[in-house]
Amino acid sequence: MRPYGESKLVRIADTVADFVAAAEQAMQEDTATSGWLSRVDAFLEQISWDRTWAAMMKLLDSAIATRDLEDKANLNGAIAGKQAPNVITREFVFDYLIVGAGFSGSVIAERLARESGKKVLVVDKRNHIGGNAYDHYDENGVLVHKYGPHIFHTNSREVFEYLSRFTKWRAYEHRVLASVDGQLVPIPINLDTINKLYGMNLNSFEAEEFFKSLAEPKEYIQTSEDVVISKVGRVLYEKFFKNYTRKQWGLDPSELDKSVIARIPTRTNRDDRYFTDTYQAMPLHGFTKMFENMLNHPNIKVMLNTDYREIEKAIPCREMVYSGPVDEFFEYRYGKLPYRSLDFKHETHNTEVFQSAPVINYPNEHLYTRVTEFKYLTGQEHSKTSIVYEFPKAEGDPYYPVPRPENQEVYKKYKALADATPGIHFVGRLATYKYYNMDQCVAQALATYKQIAVTA
């Protein structure tokens, strides 16, 4: 508006009515005697993009010259012992500081080092790499996932081929049972689920009719409750989804975005796989081994047990890739974004097999949501077996962004800040506040790397 409005070269209107009035007035004013048009022409003649650009460049050049002088002064001071030794010079030891050694950080670190020849420092505040996908051998020698069951699946050939550079695979299709009405039945709900639950013998066609008879059609599917009730009705919703979701998220399904429960399909055939992706496999020697291979490059240094804030000033880097929580990065300027957390209760049992499926979900009993027996996932043979119970909670390590409209609104504000912060790239489940699976994090990280590589 400045200087156009102030110099009365244009009229400013706030509302539709004001706009119409202003346009009418402007048309009346545009006469040969008013001189409005010649004033506008005269003003526009003085400005041009070339002039604005030249002025900007002049400013930039003078800022760079000032900084060069300051750098020289600091360096002289440091040599003379007058400055702290970690004075920031323009010689960077690392090109990139990567915060977080999970999928998002590790993929970008690997690409920058191997593909672009950049020097990369990866820091993680935990004492291990791999982020939430970290696995390790427990004290009994059983391979377990510290942060709950991680099953790899993707439809992306690019993602699968990329990861295949760092691991061999073990074919594995995941299957889950749900404990409902005293029985263990397949989830996602399929033909066998309803036949077993209701003692019926329906075929696929009849199952479809059965679901239709229960479904309550909805014009707009907005919430997770709508998704299930519109497909299979209220009774199955309450048996399989309502209470599991309340436990997991601390919210009713009617308060959660439809995308949450839409992850779980309903089937009228006998397919009892949890996922139907083209590629379903587990890293043959575990996720951590795969991360080790990814990060094993002379240009990559890994620093564990370190919050990036402890070292960012001491070890200056040209740019940063950040995969921690986005609200934390901006010191909660727009308030806290809710992330759901979990307590994991790991146990080892002195028996070869503990339960009849890799994962059993408990929608209605117990405080935990599910129990995982790792040997099914890893294929390990061992005389003992290790399992984990998941107890959801609100506070603690951030594991799940909570998809609902009000959180999305807050995230949008952080996203605008992130977009306006030069030299820092935000990636992953926590920094982009997206309920991403591992393969989606890899895909996002590969895409971000490609963007960085254009200017790197």
Interface residue list for ligand FAD (CB under 6 A): 99-105, 123-126, 131-133, 147-151, 307-308, 323-324, 342, 399, 428-430, 436-439, 441
What are the backbone angles phi and psi of residue 401, rounded to the nearest 5°? -65, 155
Select the binding partner of residue 361 from ligand UDP, ligand FAD, none (C-beta < 5 to 8 A, by kind): ligand UDP
- Let me know how long the chain is: 456
DSSP letter string over 288-317? HHHHHHHH-STTEEEE-S--HHHHTTTS-E
- Pick the closer one to ligand FAD by CB: 186 or 401: 401
Cα–Cα separations (whole angstroms), residue 367 to 6, 13, 91, 355, 364: 65, 58, 54, 18, 9
Select the binding partner of residue 264 from ligand UDP, ligand FAD, none (C-beta < 5 to 8 A, by kind): ligand UDP
CA 347 to chain centre: 29
**Amino acid at the residue 57:** M
The answer to whether 297 touches 113, Cβ cutoff 8 Å, is yes
Select the binding partner of residue 147 from ligand FAD, ligand UDP, none (C-beta < 5 to 8 A, by kind): ligand FAD
Select the binding partner of residue 248 from ligand FAD, ligand UDP, none (C-beta < 5 to 8 A, by kind): ligand UDP
- Pick the closer one to ligand UDP by CB: 83 or 243: 243
Distance CA 112, CA 299 (A): 9
**Min. distance of Cβ 329 from ligand FAD in angstroms?**
8
Select the binding partner of residue 260 from ligand UDP, ligand FAD, none (C-beta < 5 to 8 A, by kind): ligand UDP
If DSSP states are collapsed to H, E and C, what string results for 113-137? HHCCCCCEEEECCCCCCCHHHCEEE
Our finding on whether 248 is near ligand UDP (CB under 6 A) is: yes
- Pick the closer one to ligand UDP by CB: 166 or 279: 279
Neighbouring C-beta atoms of residue 260, cutoff 10 Å: 22
Within 142-181, the residues that bind ligand UDP by CB under 6 A are 178
State how beta strands 300-303 and 120-123 pair.
Answer: parallel
Single out the residue of 161, 337, 366, 74 nearest to residue 248, CA to CA: 366
Distance CA 358, CA 230 (A): 29
Q: Which residue is nearest to ligand FAD (CB)?
A: 131
- Pick the closer one to ligand FAD by CB: 29 or 307: 307
Our finding on whether 264 is near ligand UDP (CB under 6 A) is: yes
All residues at 6 or more sequence positions from 373 whose CB lies less than 8 Å from its CB, including other chains: 353, 354, 355, 357, 358, 359, 385, 386, 387
Select the binding partner of residue 244 from ligand UDP, ligand FAD, none (C-beta < 5 to 8 A, by kind): ligand UDP
The answer to whether 349 touches 385, Cβ cutoff 8 Å, is yes
- Pick the closer one to ligand FAD by CB: 149 or 253: 149
- Pick the closer one to ligand FAD by CB: 141 or 396: 396
**Amino acid at the residue 251:** L
Our finding on whether 240 is near ligand UDP (CB under 6 A) is: yes
- Pick the closer one to ligand FAD by CB: 102 or 253: 102
State which of residues 8, 51, 157, 263 lies at the interface with ligand UDP (CB under 6 A).
263
Select the binding partner of residue 438 from ligand UDP, ligand FAD, none (C-beta < 5 to 8 A, by kind): ligand FAD
Residues 182-201 vs ligand UDP: string with x where CB under 6 A?
Answer: -----x--------------
Distance CA 158, CA 148 (A): 26
- Pick the closer one to ligand UDP by CB: 300 or 430: 430
**Min. distance of Cβ 79 from ligand FAD in angstroms?**
33
Neighbouring C-beta atoms of residue 207, cutoff 10 Å: 23
Stretch of 42-50, 256-264, 301-309, 320-328 contacting ligand UDP, by CB under 6 A: 256-264
Our finding on whether 266 is near ligand UDP (CB under 6 A) is: no
Is the C-alpha dihedral spanning 290, 295, 298, 299 positive or negative?
positive
Please work out the total of residues on this chain that contact ligand UDP, with binding judged by CB under 6 A: 13
Within 275-314, the residues that bind ligand UDP by CB under 6 A are none
Q: Which residues form the interface with ligand UDP (CB under 6 A)? A: 178, 187, 240-241, 244-245, 248, 260-261, 263-264, 361, 363
